[in-house]
Amino acid sequence: MKVVVTGGAGFIGANTCRLLAEHNIEAVALDDLSSGFRSNLEGIGATLVEGSILDDTALDEVLPGADAVIHLAARPSVPRSIADPWSAHEVNATGTVKVLEAVRRHDVGQVVVASSSSVYGANPTLPKQEDLTLRPVSPYAASKLATETYTLAWGSSYGIKTLAFRFFNVFGPLQPAGHAYAAVVPAFVDAALAGRPLPVNGDGSQSRDFTFVDSVASVLTRAVTDRTHSPLPVNLAFGTRTTLLELIGELETILGHPLEREHREPRAGDVPHSQADQTRFRSLFPDVEPTPLPEALARTVAWFRSTGAGAAT
Ligand code: NAD
């Protein structure tokens, strides 16, 4: 079996390519390395083709013979999209149409894509059930809604098996810290290991359904091996809700000492609370067992340490 992973050199992509390779599935990553890294794929048995999903030639190079495409390539991050909305639109919306048309040209039977819990946006209802009214509040969220709706429309129009997952806050090894748009878990772990105050946007009462990347990668792998598909979008998270202050408490337990915090202004485009309703996900994946937060955080801290983070403190 051959699976093409767009964005395969990125955080979720490289973890997914590793798991696919471990299952003896041929994994081919198509990535322009704009936020991914060649080194993420070294030694794991996956192939990297450097190129953009916006380039038909690159897509026509990797897609022949593919049984499925896992489409993760995107311009991620809410604040980055507020600074540069055109790039978010171009990669996440237009790029998805490029991928779907290539899937059609090469008769690939299945496409699994990454949408985002950010599509729920300003709708305050919890937990987030997929049929809620969507109120995206950032260009990123609007562009991820385009990713999923284009995909599902290509499914119904052209008979492609589709699965559009809404990822929640995914974290774990390979997720970069130390840049302006870093996600909260790597930003906290990096600061904690370096002995800096943890940067908390707002008062820290915001809550998220944190999801370990191994759990996401195993669901994506299962989706392609079992050919799972759905005409409706599906939350990919496990129905937990942890505030940023609770997350800091978990980190303090792992590290064995208290952590200083530095509170900042709340960020534009951020939603206060997020938690997945799992009903639809569980109807498709009844047996997947997520890695619990304390273990997942401990493994993330161990990975950061293995990269040398905090070695000088
Ligand atoms: P990431 O930045 O590590 O991965 C995205 C990858 O796409 C990178 O390797 C980047 O180089 C590549 N890419 C960007 N533009 C490209 C292009 N034009 N052509 C080819 N490759 C391109 O981010 P991630 O966290 O691994 O996110 C993966 C997917 O999951 C994205 O679609 C993102 O929107 C979605 N998602 C992630 C989260 C999360 O918590 N990390 C939450 C919701 C949704």
The atom of ligand 1 lying closest to the CA of 40 is 9
Q: Cα(265)–Cα(119) distance, rounded to whole angstroms?
A: 23
- State the chain's mean pLDDT as an integer: 96
pLDDT band at 101 (very low <50, low <70, confident <90, very high): very high
Which among 62, 35, 292 has a CA at the least distance from the CA of 177?
A: 35
Give the pLDDT confidence of 9-66 residue by residue, as tens digits.
999 999 999 999 999 999 999 999 999 999 999 999 999 999 999 999 999 999 999 9
Cα 167 to ligand 1 centre (Å) = 11
Cα 114 to ligand 1 centre (Å) = 9
Dihedral of CA 78/147/221/101: which sign? negative
Cα 75 to ligand 1 centre (Å) = 6
Q: pLDDT value at position 178? A: 79
List, as one string, the DSSP characters of the chain: -EEEEETTTSHHHHHHHHHHHHTT-EEEEEE--SS--GGGGTTTT-EEEE--TT-HHHHHHH-TT-SEEEE------HHHHHH-HHHHIIIIIIHHHHHHHHHHHTT-SEEEEEEEGGGGBT---SSB-TTSPPB--SHHHHHHHHHHHHHHHHHHHH--EEEEEEE-EEE-TT---SSTT--HHHHHHHHHHHTPPEEEETTS--EE-EEEHHHHHHHHHHHHHTT---SS-EEES-S--EEHHHHHHHHHHHHTS---EEEEPPPTT--SB--B--HHHHHH-TTPPPPPHHHHHHHHHHHHHHTTTTTT-
Cα 34 to ligand 1 centre (Å) = 9
Q: pLDDT value at position 32? A: 98
pLDDT, average across residues 79-102: 97
> Which among 59, 72, 81, 87 is the best mutation to test ligand 1's pocket, defined by most ligand atoms within 8 Å of the CB?
72
- Ligand 1 site residues, Cβ closer than 6 angstroms: 6-7, 9-13, 30-36, 52-54, 72-76, 91, 95, 114, 116, 144, 167, 169-170, 183
How much of the chain, in percent, has pLDDT values that exceed 90? 93
Residue bearing the CA closest to ligand 1, atom 28: 72
Beta bridge partners of 273: 207
Q: Cα(207)–Cα(255) distance, rounded to whole angstroms?
A: 22
Residue bearing the CA closest to ligand 1, atom 15: 74
Any residues with CB less than 8 A from the CB of 167 and at least 6 apart, and which? 12, 114, 115, 116, 117, 211, 216, 236, 237
Cα 313 to ligand 1 centre (Å) = 31
The atom of ligand 1 lying closest to the CA of 34 is 11
> Which among 116, 117, 150, 242 is the best mutation to test ligand 1's pocket, defined by most ligand atoms within 8 Å of the CB?
116
Q: Indicate whether 311 pLDDT > 80.
A: no
Q: Which region among 40-44, 195-199, 270-274, 275-279 has the lowest average model confidence (pLDDT)? A: 270-274
pLDDT band at 97 (very low <50, low <70, confident <90, very high): very high
pLDDT, average across residues 165-191: 94
- Please give the domain boundaries of the chain with CATH numbers for all domains: 2-171+211-236 (3.40.50.720)
Q: Indicate whether 129 pLDDT > 60.
A: yes
Query: C-alpha angle 117/119/123, rounded to 5°?
Result: 95
pLDDT band at 267 (very low <50, low <70, confident <90, very high): confident
Cα 184 to ligand 1 centre (Å) = 16
Q: pLDDT value at position 313? A: 46
Q: pLDDT value at position 216? A: 98
The atom of ligand 1 lying closest to the CA of 170 is 40
Give the pLDDT confidence of 214-249 residue by residue, as tens digits.
999 999 999 999 999 999 999 999 999 999 999 999
Q: Cα(71)–Cα(7) distance, rounded to whole angstroms?
A: 7
pTM: 0.97
pLDDT, average across residues 169-191: 93
